Amino acid sequence: MSKAITSKEKNYSDWYNDLVVEADMAEHSDVRGCMVIKPHGYAIWEKMQATLDKMFKDTGHVNAYFPLFIPKSYLSKEAAHVEGFAKECAVVTHYRLKNAEDGSGVVVDPEAKLEEELIVRPTSETIIWNTYKGWIQSYRDLPLLINQWANVVRWEMRTRLFLRTAEFLWQEGHTAHATREEAIEEAEKMLNVYAEFAEHFLAMPVIKGIKTASERFAGAEETYCIEALMQDGKALQAGTSHFLGQNFAKAFDVKFANKEGKLDFVWATSWGVSTRLMGALIMTHSDDKGLVLPPRLAPLQVVIVPIYKGEEELAKISERALEFKSALQKKGISVKYDDSDKQRSGWKFAEYELKGVPVRVAIGPRDFQNGTVEIARRDTLTKEVVSHEGLADRIEKMLEEIQQSLFDKAKSRLVASTRKADSYDAFKKMLDEDGGFILAHWDGTPETEERIKEETKATIRCIPLDQEKEDGKCMVSGKPSNGRVVFARAY
Amino acid sequence: MSKAITSKEKNYSDWYNDLVVEADMAEHSDVRGCMVIKPHGYAIWEKMQATLDKMFKDTGHVNAYFPLFIPKSYLSKEAAHVEGFAKECAVVTHYRLKNAEDGSGVVVDPEAKLEEELIVRPTSETIIWNTYKGWIQSYRDLPLLINQWANVVRWEMRTRLFLRTAEFLWQEGHTAHATREEAIEEAEKMLNVYAEFAEHFLAMPVIKGIKTASERFAGAEETYCIEALMQDGKALQAGTSHFLGQNFAKAFDVKFANKEGKLDFVWATSWGVSTRLMGALIMTHSDDKGLVLPPRLAPLQVVIVPIYKGEEELAKISERALEFKSALQKKGISVKYDDSDKQRSGWKFAEYELKGVPVRVAIGPRDFQNGTVEIARRDTLTKEVVSHEGLADRIEKMLEEIQQSLFDKAKSRLVASTRKADSYDAFKKMLDEDGGFILAHWDGTPETEERIKEETKATIRCIPLDQEKEDGKCMVSGKPSNGRVVFARAY
């Protein structure tokens, strides 16, 4: 196989980029900052979508779809929001092209200028709350629990496949509530949905917390987040859930009459995860041979490859292989029997390793005679020769083991990479030598936070929800603190 | 219930708009030509998506995602394509906003002008074939059978919810093949998938055919289509499948080496259906009381409504209702027990009629004593009182009957509304009096086609695939014709 992936040791960043492209996950397009999500990558995203969508529906949410374009003036209606989002964005100014007079192609028709420019949505709070105004009059209309699956655009200057792209795919939940308490409960509930999804499906342990004021979503009163740790010791924000207070209701004048007929502004949340999770998934488990996928998100969980000379051998092996395939399918396991003659078995082995198929079954003529097959586990790269008998049961169990084992391994790494620093020097040393999550005391001021960020490139990932009360002193200012926050360098 | 829908008789167009909004399907947004797809409408679209997606996968296709933006110059690469699509479209010219100096909000930053403007995709042939160039080298890479679910934008001047909007949701398949024959086979296969979906799920009979040269997709050698007939006698194009020849491969220089190592351009197809199908669905079956949905696409197939006075009665009824609910769910039927006390039962009856729930079950205290329930069919508006015994089986059968009955009714209407005209006068009279599909002889020239369109607003919907050979004379020019084509006024 000619596909070459830089080793993680040599260059983690090149390893990631090579892997994403070679494993058919995604590639850069000719359009600056926009990626093409290739079929294998998209198949994994579809599994993520289906799983999350079910979790959203099980918690009472429905889907809807709002316009791609946002009138420029909407962005200005919420003061904090405009500062955060009305900067780097794609602006539609015209609605028509015409043939160039010199015959060189098409040019923008200057006559077709929009009266008000349209922004390609960077997030949809404004257009959605402008719509909710028409949907909410009474407490009977609440809560409104709506999610949207959509593409959004933020004009990022430095892009990386999945992790930071100008256009990305995501879901954004936007809910409306009658009380502050109910909205906070919703924001916390969705954070827990995200954490459960990350740990149970991505096999990726996370820390749940709240953002500091300076890292909050533009327009939020509180931003909850889940933070994960990649293999190179850098953190990755994997999902956020915002309690928006009455900010957007006030900006778009959305009031409701309560049971007593009294008018009040509506309370809001929004929450989202994106194709960024694809990057998190890749960086949490994969190795130098390619992708390693947790079985619950693997589009293909098992591949069966025949090893044969000639049609006669293939026919015999195929008969048995198709029995295995059928037995696995009955268990709801997705399986492919690859008897294509376009490629050799060695090429296929490498290809399925690259693509992260959790279990590979190989059947050669000797296996066939002995009533055995060779099973290879993608995560550990171990092989064993086992009997035909009870094969489907064994593989079913193996898939569960792989799922658990990937989580355990990532969890051990997270635990080992989460350390306490009690001085700024120790903090900087830890950061430079190993990275990871560093628990340290901070005085709670944005000034200190900013200074640490400037001097070390580490940010406060979150104030953990399970923060232990512990009196201490800020490692920088020496001012009192009553609990440690989580620092890291981050993607 | 205060929601008022104009009657079909009075004004078909107002009826449609009222229904779409009141049944929570969609509404116009503040952004010109862009709609909001409301939760009930989106739930139906999700069922369409899931069904089509499975049909695509069962025929060997995979999904991927390509950029929202297309560099302006790409549109010019295929000569016919640019004429068709590079006109009314959303043009991104800038990538940044900044605060207005007078503090009035945000303005476009003139410094952030793109070197080359980006077009919001009206369709993705160009960006996809530009990408395929990197994916296709050898016959081993073919066929490439890829579909994309996406939003697209065409700056339509006159918009109608679902039927014609500036932004709409759709799927677009883009396939690459080694031979002309294989590509034609693919285009025809996908047309058949669309026809099966329309008839089997939307319960909407269609005529399969090919478009005339002037109605062809810009860049296609052949456009296949399915055409349906709405209740007002107007036609609606419900899906198209294009054989693109080597046009896009030539425009983007996509060649492959065949088994003998010889280079040739790749053959292509593309095919799509959109949220327009939502409009087709509504206009095919609905009535003055609201939506009528075929059970296979109804997000909610059965609703159970209790009629009671006081908690005690409700408790008794609920116990029995939840048994029915569970029995129906076991059959895979989606069912809701609506015991909400926010609204009265009369309000609920009207609401579920409006939303098109195929079967309504009502249980009152007398029913409870008699061991009966009242079942109401949404399509026929008939009611019957039936025994508790075997209720789930009866409802399951009723759902199948409704599905079939809706198709039969629509099919009868289509047959009755498809007539032959042998003179231009008769043709015009039919058009004005009843509309429908009119089969007439045409001389095969774009001039005559254009003249008929200008004089009568009728277009050639298609040359039917099952066209009977019949010698005749063009109703306008008198020139010879060897088969009738399908004319209609259309949406």
Q: Which residues of B touch A108 (CB under 8 A)?
A: 72, 91, 93, 117
Q: At what angle do helices B39-58 and B180-200 cross, to 10 degrees?
A: 140
Q: Which two tokens stand for residue B471?
A: 């010698």
Q: What is the DSSP string of B429-475?
A: HHHHHT-SEEEEE--S-HHHHHHHHHHHS-EEEEEETTPPP--EE-T
Confidence at residue B2, expressed as pLDDT on a 0 to 100 scale: 44
B319 and B254, same domain (yes or no): no
User: Which residue of chain B comes nearest to A139, CA vs CA?
Assistant: B342
C-alpha dist (Å) from residue B168 to A374, B86, B149, B330: 50, 17, 11, 36
**Secondary structure of residue A109 in the 3-state scheme:** coil
Q: Say whether both B265 and B383 belong to one domain.
A: no
**CA B421 to the chain's CA centroid:** 29
Residues 71-110 of chain B whose Cβ lies under 8 A from any Cβ of chain A: 71-73, 75-76, 82, 86-98, 105-106, 108
For residue A39, what is the nearest residue in chain B, using CA coordinates? Answer: B64
B155 domain-assigned: yes
Which domain CATH number covers A436?
A: 3.30.110.30
A482 and A367, same structural domain?
A: no
Whether A378 and A473 map to the same domain: the answer is no
Number of residue pairs across A and B with CB atoms under 8 Å? Answer: 184
Neighboring chain A residues of B95 at a CB cutoff of 8 Å = 88-91, 155
Can you give the pTM of this predicted structure?
Answer: 0.96
The answer to the question of residue A410 being in a domain is no
Q: How close B94 gets to chain A, by Cα (Å)?
A: 5
> B58 and B22, same structural domain?
yes
Question: Which residues 313-372 of A have a C-beta within 8 angstroms of B?
Answer: 342-343
d(CA A352, CA A347): 9
Residue B357 lies in a domain: yes
Domain boundary among B237, B256, B285: B285
The span from the CA of B403 to the CA of B201, in Å, is 8
Average pLDDT value for chain B: 95
CA distance A72 to A146: 24
Q: Which of B140, B167, B342 sits opposite A140 (nearest CB)?
A: B342
Q: Tens-of-pLDDT digits for all 491 residues of chain A?
A: 446 899 999 999 999 999 999 999 999 999 989 999 999 999 999 999 999 999 999 999 999 999 999 999 998 888 777 878 778 999 999 999 998 888 888 899 999 999 999 999 999 999 999 999 999 999 999 999 999 999 999 998 889 999 999 999 999 999 999 999 999 999 999 999 999 999 999 999 999 999 999 999 999 999 999 999 999 999 999 999 999 999 999 999 999 999 999 999 999 999 999 999 999 999 999 999 999 999 999 999 999 999 999 999 999 999 999 999 999 999 999 999 999 988 899 999 999 999 999 999 999 988 888 999 999 999 999 999 999 999 999 999 999 999 999 999 999 999 999 999 999 999 999 999 999 999 999 999 999 999 999 999 999 999 999 998 999 999 999 999 999 999 999 99
Q: Are residues B130 and B243 in the same domain?
A: yes
- The percentage of residues in chain B with a pLDDT greater than 70, rounded to a whole number, is 99
Q: Map residue A455 onto helix, strand or coil.
A: helix
C-alpha triplet B219, B220, B224: angle, nearest 5°: 145
Cross-chain CB nearest to A39 (options B27, B30, B146): B146
* Chain B: residue whose CA lies nearest to A36: B66
Residues of A in contact with B252 (CB under 8 A): none
Q: Domain for residue A205, yes or no? A: yes
Closest residue in chain A to residue B98, using alpha carbons only: A87
Whether B373 and B266 share a structural domain: no
**B174 and B269 co-located in one domain:** yes
Residue A441 belongs to some domain of the structure: yes
Nearest CA distance, B95 vs chain A (angstrom): 5
Is the same domain home to A390 and A466?
Answer: no
Residue A153 lies in a domain: yes
CB contact burial A395-404 (16+ within 10 A = b; e otherwise): bbebbeebbe
Across the interface, do B31 and A67 touch by the CB < 8 Å criterion?
A: yes
Of A354, A367, A356, A317, the residue nearest A338 (C-alpha): A317
Instruction: Inspect the interface and report whether the beta carbons of B29 and A67 lie closer than 8 Å.
Output: yes
Are residue B136 and residue B25 in the same domain, yes or no?
yes
Per-residue model confidence as pLDDT tens digits over B333-373: 999 999 998 889 999 999 999 999 999 999 998 888 899 99
Q: Which residue of B has its CA nearest to A98?
A: B87
Assess if residue A295 is contained within a domain: no
Is B29 within 8 Å of A127 when comparing Cβ atoms?
A: yes
Q: What pLDDT is recorded for position A1?
A: 41
Contact: A88, B82; criterion CB under 8 Å: no
**What chain A residue is nearest to B88 in terms of C-alpha separation?**
A96
Measured over all CA atoms, what is the biggest interatomic distance in chain B, rounded to whole angstroms? 82
User: Do both B181 and B247 map to the same domain?
Assistant: yes
How far is A128 from A23, CA to CA, in rounded Å? 37
What is the identity of the amino acid at B191? L
| Residue B85: closest C-alpha in chain A | A97
Predicted confidence (pLDDT) at residue B317 exceeds the cutoff of 60 = yes
Q: Is residue B292 part of a domain?
A: no
Q: What is the CATH number of the domain that holds A214?
A: 3.30.930.10
Q: Is A105 in Cβ contact with B73 (below 8 Å)?
A: yes
Strand-strand pairing, B437-441 and B484-488:
antiparallel
How many Å apart are CA B407 and CA B227, to the nearest integer?
15
Question: What single string gives the DSSP state of each residue in B10-45?
Answer: T-HHHHHHHHHHHTTSEEE-SSTT-EEE-HHHHHHH
Domain count, chain A: 3
SS3 category, B233 = coil
What's the distance, Cα to Cα, between the start and end of chain A in Å?
31
**Among B372, B401, B430, where does a domain finish?**
B401
pLDDT for residue A2? 43
Query: Do A475 and A421 form a contact (C-beta atoms < 8 A)?
Result: yes
What is residue B3's predicted lDDT score, i.e. its pLDDT? 63
The verdict on a CB contact (< 8 Å) between B97 and A120 is no
Are residues B67 and A97, on separate chains, in Cβ contact within 8 Å? no
**B96 to A76: CB separation less than 8 angstroms, yes or no:** no
Beta strand A69-71 with A113-120: parallel, antiparallel or unpaired? antiparallel
Q: Which of B43, B88, B131 sits opposite A95 (nearest CB)?
A: B88
B1 has a pLDDT exceeding 70: no
- Nearest residue to B183 (alpha-carbon basis) of B241, B268, B251, B254: B268
> What radius of gyration, in Å, describes the C-alpha atoms of chain A?
26
Among left, alpha and beta (phi > 0; psi -120 to 50; other), residue A223 is beta
CB contact under 8 A, B93 and A87: no
Say yes or no for a CB contact (<8 Å) between A87 and B72. no
Residues in chain B closer than 8 A to A116 (CB atoms): none
A426 and A372 together in one domain: no
Domain final position from B370, B401, B432: B401
Q: Which domain holds residue A341?
A: 300-400
